[in-house]
Structure 1
Amino acid sequence: MSKIAQQSIQTTIFSYVGVVLGYINVLWLYPYALDATELGTFRTIQDLGLLFVPFAQLGVGHGITRYFPKLEQNQSAFLSYSLAFSMLGFAVVSLLFFGFKDQLIGLFAVNSPEIINFLGVVLLITLFALLSSVLDAYGRSYLKVAIPTFFREVFLRILTSLLVGIYLLDWISFEQVMQGLVAVYGFALLGVLIYLVWLGKVKLDFNWKNFPPGFRSSFLRFSLITFLATAASTLIMKIDSIMVSSMVSLEANAIYSIAFYMALVVELPRRAISQVAMPVIADHFAKNQITEINALYRQISNRQLYICLLLFALIWCNIDSIYHFVPNREIYQAGKMVVFYIALGKIFDVAFSVNSEILVFSKYYRFNLVLTLGMSVLIVAANYWLIPIYGIEGAAMGSAGVMLAFNLIKYSYLKIKLGLDPFSYETLKILFVGTSIFAFKDLYLEGVPPLIMIGIKSVLIIGVFYFWSMIANVGIDEWNWIKSKIKKSGP
Structure 2
Amino acid sequence: MAGVKQSVLTTIFSYVGVIVGYVNLLWLFPYVLSPTQIGLFKTVQDIALLLVPFAQLGIGHGITRFFPRLRGKEFAFFSFSLIIATVGFFMVASLFFVFKTPIINAFAEKAPEVNNFLIVALLITFFSLFNSLLEAFCRSFLKIAIPSLIRDVFLRVFMAMLVIGYYFSFYSFDFMIWGMGAVYMLAMISIMLYMKREKIFKIDFNWKRITLPIKKEFLQYSLITLLGTAGALLIMKIDSIMVSSMIGLDANAIYTIGFSIAVVIEMPRRAISQVAMPVISEMFAKNQLTGINALYKKIAINQLLICLLIFLMIWINIESLYHFVPNRSIYEQGKWVVLLIGLGKLTDVIFSVNGEIIVFSKFYTFNITATLFMSVAVIVFNLVLIPHYGIEGAALASLIAMFFYNFVKFVFIKIKLGFNSFTPNVFLILLAGILSWAVSYYLIPTFEAVILDILIRSGIVTAVYLLLLHILKAAPETETMVLQKIKQLLSMLSKH
TM-score, normalising length from structure 2?
Answer: 0.96
How far apart are 1:469 and its partner, in Å? 1.5
1:362 aligns with 2:361: yes
CA distance change for structure 1 residues 442 and 83 in 2, over 3 Å: closer, same or farther?
farther
Task: For 1:3-18, list aligned pairs within 5 A.
Answer: 3-18=2-17
Partners of 2:446 and 2:453 within 8 A in 1: no
1:101-159 residue CA offsets vs partner (Å, 9 max, x unmatched): 11111000000011111111010000000000000001100111111000000000111
- 1:293 maps to 292
Distance 1:434 1:39, change over 3 A: same
Partner of 2:345 in structure 1?
Answer: 346
1:389 equivalent in alignment to 2:388: yes
After TM superposition, list the pairs within 5 Å mapping 1:221-370 onto structure 2: 221-370=220-369
Question: 1:451 is aligned with what amino acid?
Answer: I
Contact 1:429 1:474 in 2 (8 A): yes
Are 2:100 and 1:115 equivalent residues in the alignment?
no
Query: TM-score scaled to structure 1, two decimals?
Result: 0.97
2:378 matched residue in structure 1? 379
Give the aligned partner of residue 486 of structure 2. Answer: 483
Unaligned runs of 5+ in 2: none
Partner of 1:21: 20
Instruction: Tell me: CA distance 1:28–1:444, structure 2 relative to 1, closer, same or farther (3 Å).
Output: farther
Task: Report the equivalent of 2:401.
Answer: 402
**One-letter code aligned to 2:135:** D
- Partner of 1:46 in structure 2? 45
For residues 329 and 261 of structure 2, the distance between their equivalents in structure 1, rounded to whole angstroms, comes to 17
**Matched residues in 2 for 1:485 and 1:349: separation?**
33
Residue type of the alignment partner of 2:154: F
Q: Deviations over 1:330-373 (max 9, x none)?
A: 00000000000000011111000000000000010011111001
Report Cα offsets for 1:414-434 as digits up to 9, x if no partner.
Answer: 111101001112112111112
CA distance in 2, matches of 1:397, 1:477: 38
CA distance in 1 between counterparts of 2:382 and 2:443 reads 34
Q: Does 1:431 align with 2:430?
A: yes
Q: Contact between 1:156 and 1:188, CA under 8 Å: does it hold in 2?
A: yes
8 A contact 1:349–1:403 mirrored in 2: yes
CA drift at 1:212 = 3.4
Q: 1:164-183 maps to which residues of 2 (within 5 A)?
A: 164-183=163-182
Q: Does the C-alpha gap of structure 1 residues 107 and 485 become closer, same or farther in structure 2, counting only changes over 3 Å?
A: farther
Asked whether the equivalents of residues 50 and 126 of structure 1 are also in contact (C-alpha less than 8 Å), the reply is yes
Cα deviation, residue 213, structure 1: 4.8
For residue 209 of structure 1, give the secondary structure of its aligned residue in structure 2. helix
User: In structure 1, what is the Cα distance between the partners aligned to 2:228 and 2:493?
Assistant: 45
Contact 1:79-1:138 at 8 Å conserved across structures: yes
1:461 matched to 2:464: no
Could you tell me whether the CA contact under 8 Å between 1:4 and 1:277 is conserved in 2? Answer: no
2:80 touches 2:205 (CA, 8 Å); kept in 1? Answer: yes
Cα distance between partner residues in 2 of 1:320 and 1:483: 34
Q: CA RMSD in A?
A: 1.4
Per the alignment, residue 450 of structure 2 pairs with 450
Counterpart CA distance in 2 for 1:297 and 1:194 is: 35
| Residue type of the alignment partner of 1:281 | I
Aligned-residue offset at 1:18? 0.2
What SS class does the counterpart of residue 214 from structure 1 fall into?
helix
Pairwise CA distance, 1:441? 3.5
Post-superposition offset of 1:447: 5.3
Q: Hey, which bits of structure 1, 4+ residues long, moved more than 3 A?
A: 441-447, 481-491
How is 1:136-151 mapped onto 2 (pairs within 5 angstroms)?
Answer: 136-151=135-150
Instruction: Identify the range of structure 1 (53-62 vs 460-469) with the bigger mean alpha-carbon deviation.
Output: 460-469
Question: What is the match of residue 197 of structure 1?
Answer: 196
Q: Within 2, Cα distance between the matches of 1:481 and 1:38?
A: 50
> Using a 3 Å threshold, how does the CA distance of structure 1 residues 479 and 441 change in structure 2: closer, same or farther?
farther
How many angstroms apart in 2 are the aligned matches of 1:320 and 1:26? 16
Count of equivalent residues: 490
What does the per-residue CA deviation read over 1:380-425, in whole Å, with 9 as the maximum and x for residues that have no partner?
Answer: 0000000000000001011111111111111111111101001112
Deviations 1:203-246 (A, max 9, x none): 12111011135110110000000011001111111101000000
SS at match of 1:378: helix
Identity across the alignment (%): 49
Q: What is the identity, as a one-letter code, of the residue corresponding to 2:170?
A: W
- 1:472 aligns with 472
Quick one: distance in 2 between partners of 1:157 and 1:489? 35
Residue 161 of structure 1 is matched in structure 2 by 160
Q: 2 CA distance for matches of 1:453 and 1:485? A: 34
- Output one character per residue of 1:35-72: Cα deviation in whole Å (capped at 9) or x when no partner: 00000000000000111000000011000000000012
The structure-2 alpha-carbon separation of the partners of 1:33 and 1:221, relative to structure 1 and needing over 3 Å to count, comes to same
For 1:60, the equivalent position in structure 2 comes to 59
- Change in Cα spacing, 1:92 to 1:432, as seen in structure 2 (3 Å) is same
- Counterpart of 1:460, as a letter, is I
- Describe the shift of the 1:257–1:484 C-alpha distance in structure 2 as closer, same or farther (beyond 3 A): farther
Distance 1:21 1:309, change over 3 A: same
Question: Matched residues in 2 for 1:279 and 1:356: separation?
Answer: 13
Asked if the contact 1:348–1:407 (Cα under 8 Å) also holds between the matched residues in 2, the reply is yes
State the distance in 2 between where 1:443 and 1:153 align: 37
What is the rounded CA distance, in whole Å, between the counterparts of 2:191 and 2:328 in structure 1? 37
C-alpha separation between the residues in 2 aligned to 1:86 and 1:108? 29
CA contact (8 A) 2:444 2:457 kept: no
Structure 1: which amino acid aligns with 2:453?
Answer: M
The CA deviation at 1:474 is 3.0
CA distance in 1, matches of 2:13, 2:488: 17
* CA distance in 2 between partners of 1:232 and 1:185 (Å): 23
* SS state at 2:357 partner: helix
